[in-house]
C-alpha cells in the first residue's frame, strides 16, 4: 500500500526503523511512500537511494543526508529565495 507524508514528517517516518541502517535497506523500506513537498512530490525510497552516504546512524542522520538530495520543489514556492527581498 502506498502512503503519503509531508516532508516535515519524514523524520517521524525514519524513526520507525532500526539503526544503524544501510542506505539500500532504508531505501527499500521507504519505497512506495510519497513525500509531499511545497510544490510536488517524490518517492521517499528513490530519494534515499540517491543519497551518497552508505549507512545512517540514526533517524536524524538520515534526515540530514536527505536534505542534500531534495529537489528544488521541496524548498518552497518556485522562484522564491532566501536572498534579497
| pLDDT per residue rounded down to tens, the chain (85 residues) | 359 999 999 999 999 999 999 999 999 999 999 999 888 899 999 999 999 999 999 999 999 999 999 987 776 655 555 554 4
Cis peptide before 15 (omega within 30 of 0): no
Per-residue model confidence (pLDDT) at position 2: 54
Q: What are the grid coordinates assigned to 21, written together?
A: 541502517
CB atoms inside a 10 Å sphere around CB 56: 24
- 14 and 48 in contact (C-beta within 8 Å)? no
Instruction: Name the nearest CA neighbour of 63 among 10, 19, 2.
Output: 10
Per-residue model confidence (pLDDT) at position 51: 96
HSE at residue 9, side-chain half, CA atoms within 13 A, is: 10
Per-residue model confidence (pLDDT) at position 77: 57
Per-residue model confidence (pLDDT) at position 14: 95
Amino acid at each position: 500500500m502506498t502512503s503519503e507524508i509531508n516532508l516535515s514528517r519524514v523524520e517521524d517516518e525514519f524513526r520507525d526503523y532500526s539503526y544503524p541502517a544501510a542506505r539500500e535497506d532504508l531505501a527499500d523500506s521507504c519505497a512506495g511512500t510519497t513525500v509531499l513537498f511545497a510544490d510536488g512530490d517524490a518517492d521517499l525510497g528513490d530519494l534515499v537511494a540517491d543519497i551518497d552516504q552508505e549507512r545512517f546512524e540514526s533517524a536524524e542522520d538520515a534526515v540530514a543526508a536527505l536534505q542534500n538530495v531534495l529537489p528544488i520543489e521541496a524548498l518552497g514556492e518556485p522562484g522564491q529565495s532566501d536572498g534579497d527581498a
